[in-house]
Each structure stands twice: as structure tokens, then as C-alpha cells.
A and B are shown apart, each in its own frame.
Chain A
Amino acid sequence: MKKYLWFIPFVLVPLPFLGYPFLLSIFVLIGIYTIAAIGMDVLTTWAGQISIGNAAFFAVGAYTSAILVVNFHVPFLIAFLISGLFAMIIGIVVGLPALRVSGFYLAVVTMAFGIAVQQIIGVFQITGGYNGIRNIPVPSFWIFKASNPVYQYYVVLTIIFLIFIVLSRISFSKSGLALFAMRDSEIAARAFGVNLLKYKLAAFAASAALTGLAGSLYASAIGFISPSQFDLTLSLDLLAMVIVGGAGSVMGVMIGAAFFVGLPFLLSGYNISITIIQGVALIVILLFLPKGLLQIFKIRDLFKKKVI
């Protein structure tokens, strides 16, 4: 994202001044999904682990925050942090099997976790069963006018920026290098003294925490959550966002999230099934822009030799 830092002051920050409140609430949603997709990116692109159950962390975050705010009247900021923490603890538990299984087997384990969480949420009383939780209040720390999308927008943007700073710090640190080494070859990494246990669990913990935080924001921005919102499709969408936008880059993930979240709104007037466009886009981008839509911005690369 470093190359695109100009993007923040010149495009992202002034956006609200265009004055389309509806557009802004879509941007808020894009931002929230960006945070969740960054969580997926950390797990897949950084640590090389597969997960098709990340929707469960999203659900855990959303439900923790919603229950705390609605039932226990906890201030949103505290509920927000607790939901991230709780998702992180669950992420560590889910990460444990990853020490033994990999590839398809890990995919099945994470998928099982995703389906199980969705089903458990649907059964219990405190989560509102299959009806979900309604009327989740808009957080009170958005001081001025809480329901104003402009403030929501800046809050989400700030969180993404903070995550970006932390991640870019980590990626140049010793821990980041150890993580990349583990992704490239577990055996070689271990030979160089990388503690696989520590780094795999850390990757799952970080991914779960980010996704949980996004879930918490989602619950308060949408105001209504139910188990059907956190199905397998959401997990696969998060994965697809990372690939469509550009794996391993916050900017790329943001583009991917914008593509997946924004497209339904753009096409809502036409009588065409959204999944066809998403599916075709996924295939075409993978074949012709293997580094994601982000590649379009690197115009110089386009004139080089074709990748396929």
C-alpha cells in the first residue's frame, strides 16, 4: 500500500464531501469487509494456511458485540475490543488442529468449524436463534451524530489505516519473516529455528481477531444479525475478495472488497444475476491478472510479457 499512500489524503479522506449519504454507507460496508478480508489475507497469503470457515469469526465478533451492547448495555468501544479478543481466543482453538493437518484436511476442519458455529448460534436463546438479533443500537462513541455515515466512514477508515500500519511493521520484522518462511516451506523454516506452533497459532489468532472486529462493526452498522448472514458463502466471498483484489496488499484487498460489496448495488437496477458476474470476474481475473485487480494500477507491468 505504500505506493498508494497518496490515495488516502486525495481520494479516501475527501470522499464524504461529495455528499452522497447512501454511497457513504456502502463505503462503510466496503471498509468493514476490507477488515475481514485482511484477516483472511493474513492467514492465507502471509501464513499459507487455508481457511473456509472465517465467516464464523465474523459471526463470533458480531454476536459478542451485539449481545454485550443489547443485553448488558456495555459501551460499544469495550464491546468492540472484547469481541476481537473473544474471536482471537476461538481462533487459537481452531488453529490447534492446523498443527497436525494441512491442505484439504485443514479446509475440512475450518469448514466444519464454520458450519458448526452457524448452527450453534441458531440453537441458543441468547443469540436469538434463527431470528437473530434486531435493533442493535448505533454506538455511542461516534460522538456527534451517531447515525451519520460520515462519522462511521472515518471511524472505519481510521481502523483500516491503523491495521495497515501494524501489518506493515510486522511484515518487515523478524516475526513477519518467520511467518513467510513457514508459508514457503515448513520444514525449511523449522530447520532455521522457526517455532511453527507459535506462528501458526499467531496467524490464526490475528486472522480471527481482525475478522471478529469487522464482525463487531458490521453488527452495529447494519443493526440486524442472523445466522444465515454468516454462511459458507461469506467465507468463500472473503477468500474471493483477497484474490480478486490482490493478495498480500491492504490496497488490493480493499479493491476486492469494493468489487464484491459494491457490484450488487451497481447492478441492482438490471435483471441479471449477480453471481454470474462475480463468478466470471473471478475466473477472468485469475487467468489474466493473477495478482488481482491491483495489477491494473501497475500500468507498466501490463506492457511486459504476458503471464499466461
Chain B
Amino acid sequence: MVFQQIIAGIITGSLYAIVALGLVIAYKVTGVMNFAYGYMGMISAYIFFTFFSMIGMNYILSFFIAIAFGAFVGYAVERRLLRPVRNISPASMVIITLGLLLVLEGVALQIWGNNYQQIPNLLNGLPLILRFEGGIIVIPQQNLLILGVVTAVIIALILYLNLTFQGKAMRAVAQNEEIAKLMGINSSLMMSISWIISGSIGALAALLVAPQTFVYPDMMLSLQIMGFTAAVLGGFESIPGSIIGGISIGIIENLVGTYISTNLKTTFSLAIIVAILIVKPEGLLGSAKSRRV
């Protein structure tokens, strides 16, 4: 029973973790906290719905079209909306993404309406059943798919950022844009790439969660809130931080939901997270920053 809940927690948590990752990458490279992140993913889920359910295209093909669209939205938002106004204050940037959130929500309502649209699981086979002395664990195939895809994305991202030249260049821009420019790095390109990665991760998260939540304009709200919380819990600066933040929130949420209260699941989970933040104000893996007066 406990193991079953922990496994379920890891699977929910892995979704929180990639949402957190997408937020953190965009934030580290361009300095924008993207409030509209989940809603950008939501549009991709609708694109998938349009191609798969309305036009009747192949599942995999629609999946990749939707992710490509997510990447495009990420690029367009950064390059066309946020880049031209980079010099305004960070708080104003957050408000601009908040405005974008409202626009995206309205656009989805206008085009696809307010109905809950269903999209099927990719894998519908028998669940994986593990038996051992303490009991049994049941994992549906779709959840295994989520876990597999998320792990693959995280590993690919770590390899990309650490081993390729472009990944190193991106980290250099994240550390110090001016010096990276002086070293001949095309920082403008790196910013675009970071948002392309972020946008496609957001689309991926939306597509993975869509069979469970259905597709509707607010479908990504809770995932976005929890992803943001996960990023903050992890310190808002590193990949390991986001993963640990996401998975610990997923596990806390599932254990609280089973053993303390189903109705007040989110309340108790958030209370635990707030308690952690009060004890460790810079997050689990964040570093304390010194500020100039």
C-alpha cells in the first residue's frame, strides 16, 4: 500500500518535475518567470486533439506535430513578445506572461469552446503487476510511458547541457550573458533555443497528462501550480533541484491523500512545503544569494 502510493507519487511527481524543468531552463537563460507556461502547453494539447480526433491523423504523428507546435509557441513568445521589451523590470515581465495566460485561455475558449475533450491513452494494455512479500504494485501502462518519457527527456537534457558545445554555451549565457557574449557566444540564439526546449517540454507535459485530465482551457492549472512549487522547492536553479522538488511533492501529495485527508490533500501538502521553505528559505538545493545594497 505504501509502495503503491510512493510509485504513484513518483509518477505524478515526474510530471511536476518536467514542468519545473521547463520553467527553470527558460528562467535561467532569459530571466523570465513564465506564468503562461501551462497554458502554452494547453494549446498544444488542443492542437493534438484537432489533428487526432477531428482530422483523424495517426496518434504518433499528431503527437509530434503538437510538440513541434509547442516549440514554435515557445520561440514566438520569447522572440516576438518578450525579447523586444527585455529591459523592463522582472516584475513587469511576470505580468506580461500573466497577460499572455489570459490571452491563451481566451483563444482556446474562442476556438475550441468550453467542453471537456477526451483524448485516449497511447498504451491501453494490461497494467504491470509486481508481486512481492509486502503486497502488490499495479502500474498502468500509460503511467509507465509517462515515467519512461520523462526519464528519457531528463537524461537527454542533462547530456545536452553538459556534453555538447551548444549546451555549454547555453549554461554560459545563464551564468553571465555579457561575458558569454564577449566569448563569442550567440546569446540571442541560445535564448531562443532555451525557450524552444522549454516550450516543447511544456507541450509534452500537457500531452502526457491530457488523457487523465481531459483537454479544456484550464487543464494545466494544477500542473502549472505544482510545477512552479516544485521548481521553487528545488531552489529554482538546477535540474536536480527540479527533479527532487517535483518527485518529493508528488510523493508527499499521494501519501497525504491516502493517510491524512483526501479532501484536504493539497492543503496539507502545501503546508508541508511552506514549512520546508520557512526552514530553508532558498529551497532544497538552492544556494543562498548575497545581495548588494
Contact = CB atoms under 8 A, between A and B. Distances in A.
Contacts of A161: none
Interface in B77-135: 81, 85, 87-88, 92, 95-96, 98-107, 109-110
Contact of B92 (A97, A185, A272, A286): A286
A102 B278 CA distance: 11
Contacts of B278: 97, 100-101
Contact of B96 (A100, A115, A122, A283): A283
A144 interface: no
Interface string A185-208: 101100000000000000000000
- Interface size class, chain A: 35 or more
Contact of B271 (A108, A112, A274, A287): A112
Contacts of A281: 99
Contacts, number: 122
B293 A188 contact: yes
Contacts of B155: none
Interface of A is mostly: helix
Given A120-B264, A120-B267, A275 B229 contact: no
A299 interface: no
A276 B102 contact: yes
Contact of A119 (B107, B232, B233, B267): B267
B36 to A, nearest CB: 9
A108 B103 contact: no
A245 B263 CA distance: 38
Given A116-B270, A273-B106, A290-B88, A283 B100 contact: yes
A104 B99 CA distance: 18
A161 B278 CA distance: 38
15 contacts: A97-B274, A100-B278, A101-B281, A104-B33, A105-B281, A105-B283, A109-B274, A112-B271, A116-B266, A120-B264, A187-B293, A278-B102, A280-B103, A282-B102, A286-B96
Interface of A: 97, 100-102, 104-105, 107-109, 111-113, 115-116, 119-120, 122-123, 185, 187-188, 232, 236, 239-240, 243, 272-283, 286-287, 290, 308
Interface of B: 33, 81, 85, 87-88, 92, 95-96, 98-107, 109-110, 221, 225, 228-229, 232-233, 236, 263-264, 266-267, 270-271, 273-274, 277-278, 281-283, 291, 293
